[in-house]
Amino acid sequence: MQTIKNILKTTGIMLAGVLAGAVLLSLAFLVPVSETNRSVSYDIIEKEGWYPAVPIVSASLDTYFHSLLPGVLDGSTDTIMLQTALEPDEANVLRASMDMNQYDYYWHGYVAVLRPLLALFDYGEIRVLNSMGQLLLVFLLCLRLWQKKGMPYAMLMLTSYFLLMPMAMPFSLQYSWVFYITAGCLMYLTGGDRAQNVTGIALYRLFLIVGMLTSFFDLLTYPLYTWGVPVIWWLLLQEKDREQTYGDGSGKDGLYYLKQVVGTGLWWILGYAGMWLGKFCLGSLILGRNIFESAFYEVGFRLGVEEETFGLADRLEALYVNWKHYEYKLYVLLLAVWLLYIMALTIRKGIRGNVLGKALALAGVSPVVWYFALANHTAGHHFFTYRIYGIAVLAVLAILVGAVGDGRQRDRRRSFRLLCVWGICGIAACGLSLLAREEIHVTNGDRTYRQAALREGAVCEMSFIPSFPAVRQIGLCIGTDASEGVCRLALRDGGEVLYEEELWLSAYEESTYADIPVNWKLERGKDYILGISTEGSDGEVWLFVTADQDMPLSEYGEVWMDGYAQGGQVLSGLTYSYRPLSYFTLAFLAMTWTGILFAACMIFERDEKKDEKE
């Protein structure tokens, strides 16, 4: 009977959330907007461009889009937000709340807040207001955690905010909604003894609502943050004192906390996905068109299932490129200080077991699952999705801080053993850092060129000496009016064909450049022969070749066609996969792995006080 009541209540919460979302958006569109605020807002975002980066706040379209700077703003999406809030396509407010300028598979719940704000303030003033709101919330959260858990945990809260890039957060509406949902949940949990009292179904319903709010406000930026960070702090706030948690058996065991992490995660997903499905249903009903079709295509696209070539290597690349944002020098310094601080404390004070360790680790692994599953989205939008890794950083630091002993049983042998453990972790980390692979791009596509006809049956050949052993992609510039036929690449070692690749000439119908994914494992510096030919073409095909004696790529030799030297190279690009070339990157990765490995050791460390009692 209780199960049925819980199901009915949960269903009621979700239905109420869907209806409340539609009502709030409809009411927002009734609010008049100041024309002055509209004009000033558009002027600001137009001057900055689509993807500026703080502290510069000015850039052209592609200057920072693919960069690894942590302060890149998403002015493009902020523009969409402003237009959606200010200029609805539909005159009917209910239809407008569902249509959202035909961007209908998202809720765009931010309109319920943004449009009333635009009645009073312009985009620049909203940024100032946003700055004050975020600083106030961070200050209050740090103060509460200092009172409840002590200074190290207050510093953990502050570190989490620093890693979001405090300068970028208030300047980008796109990034702010997830922050406010997370901070609001934390303010609730840190109030009084609420974190200890909110358990069971009440805890699950809290994360159900958080998931619904995330789906309502967010446009797939770093949504998992609204679950991961609050659940970590909920875990940390369970440790009321040492005796209750570790010693006398009155506290909960590790399995209990693992179940809570899994349970809250499932209920968050239920709220997130359920609220989204509610939009599809309600929007399809009100607008009279099938939103499910476009929505499910978008889901499939973001999961990478629509692209046959999106495989394991691409998903691993998404994991790596998102973590590269933390290579920012100030972030490296911050994390290095934490690591040295914890290393010094553990050697001086010893270590202790942590019943929360496995649960924290499970929460910390969640970003890896997210990046892997949504690799198509997170690889292309890493300039903001990297913030999901903030969950993993917080989890690892929480495990390390919780591992510091009380210093009651200090002896030199134990300190020496801990120093050895740190040393072993460091050595293993150096080895693991060498396993990382980065994409290295080389091209001669910026050179002047001429055309060389590639007739049917002819083979264009040139020597190919790879600078690195693993080639992941080769790009070719080809001009053609053919709609059928293939372009064939053959890589030979002497007379033996090692690899053969095909690309349909139709790939060049709208462009003269196309990429061919490959998986070539070669010997670095060895001289191979690369042949290019066509087959089944129904039109003319010509290669773009650099000017005479212009040989910018060290990989390519001179082009030969029909036995005649062409005096240049085929316009092309190569993508290698190789370990990081920068010593700074290798040091950063070694530091990362050292912290992870020591935290992994601490997960399985038994508590001394518990051992004594046993």
CATH number of domain containing 478: 2.60.120
∠ CA 583-586-587, nearest 5°, is 85
In a domain, 277, yes or no: yes
Residue with tokens 């033996």: 496
Please indicate, yes or no, whether residues 402 and 458 belong to a single structural domain of this protein: no
Is 500 part of any domain? yes
Q: What is the pLDDT of residue 242?
A: 39
Question: Would you say residue 516 lies in a domain?
Answer: yes
Q: How far apart are CA 476 and CA 572, in angstroms?
A: 5
Q: What is the pLDDT of residue 304?
A: 61
319 phi, psi to nearest 5 deg: -60, -45
C-alpha–C-alpha distance, residues 37 and 127, integer Å:
13
User: Measured between alpha carbons, how far is residue 425 from residues 63, 422, 433 in Å?
Assistant: 38, 5, 12
489 and 401 co-located in one domain? no
pLDDT under 50: residue ranges of the chain: 241-250, 608-614
Identify whether residues 448 and 410 lie together within a single domain.
no
For residues 456 and 347, membership in a common domain is answered with no
Same domain as 364, residue 472: no
Q: For position 306, what pLDDT does the model report?
A: 56
Other CB atoms within a 10 A radius of the CB of residue 9 amount to 12
Q: Which two tokens stand for residue 480?
A: 């053609």
Enter the tokens of residue 468: 């690195």
Q: Show the tokens assigned to 450.
A: 């001429």
Question: What is the phi/psi pair of residue 81, to 5°?
Answer: -60, -45
pLDDT at residue 506, rounded to an integer: 87
Return the SS3 of 573: strand
Alpha-carbon span 109 to 91, nearest angstrom: 18
The dihedrals phi and psi of 385, each to the nearest 5 degrees, come to -70, -15
Task: Looking at the structure, tell me whether residues 214 and 79 fall in a common domain.
Answer: yes
- Model pLDDT, residue 58: 65
Residues 6+ apart with CB under 8 A from 257: 235, 238, 355, 356, 358, 359
Residue 66, domain member (yes or no): yes
By CB neighbour count within 10 A (0-12 exposed, 13-18 middle, 19+ buried), where does 139 fall?
exposed
Residue at a domain's end among 398, 414, 430: 414
Cα 474-453-489 angle, rounded to 5 deg? 30
* pLDDT digit string, tens, across residues 106-118: 899 999 999 999 9
Residues 464 and 384 both lie in one domain:
no
Whether residue 526 sits in one domain with residue 406 = no
**Residue 423 lies inside a defined structural domain of this protein:** no
pLDDT at 61: 55
pLDDT of amino acid 250: 43
Distance (Å, whole) CA 20 – CA 421 = 54
44-64 pLDDT per residue, tens: 988 887 888 877 666 555 566
- Tokens representing 20 are 């409340």
Q: Do 283 and 172 share a structural domain?
A: yes
Q: Report the DSSP beta bridge partners of residue 544.
A: 451
Q: Where are the beta strands (DSSP E) in 424-570?
A: 438-443, 449-453, 459-464, 470-480, 486-493, 496-504, 513-521, 528-535, 541-546, 560-561, 564-565
Among residues 561, 587, 163, 93, the alpha carbon closest in space to that of 390 is found at: 163
Contacting residues for 331 by C-beta, under 8 A, at least 6 apart = 70, 162, 163, 325
| Residue 434 resides in a domain | no
| Helix (H/G/I), strand (E/B), else coil: 552 | coil
Give the CA distances from residue 273 to residues 86, 180, 208, 222, in Å, rounded to whole numbers and listed in that order: 27, 20, 10, 15
Any domain includes 602: no
Domain of residue 22 covers 17-414
Same domain, 410 and 451: no
Domain count, the chain: 2
Q: Whose structure tokens read 């300028």?
A: 101
Task: Answer yes or no: do 474 and 522 share one domain.
Answer: yes
- Could you tell me if 111 and 141 are in contact, meaning their C-beta atoms sit under 8 angstroms apart? no
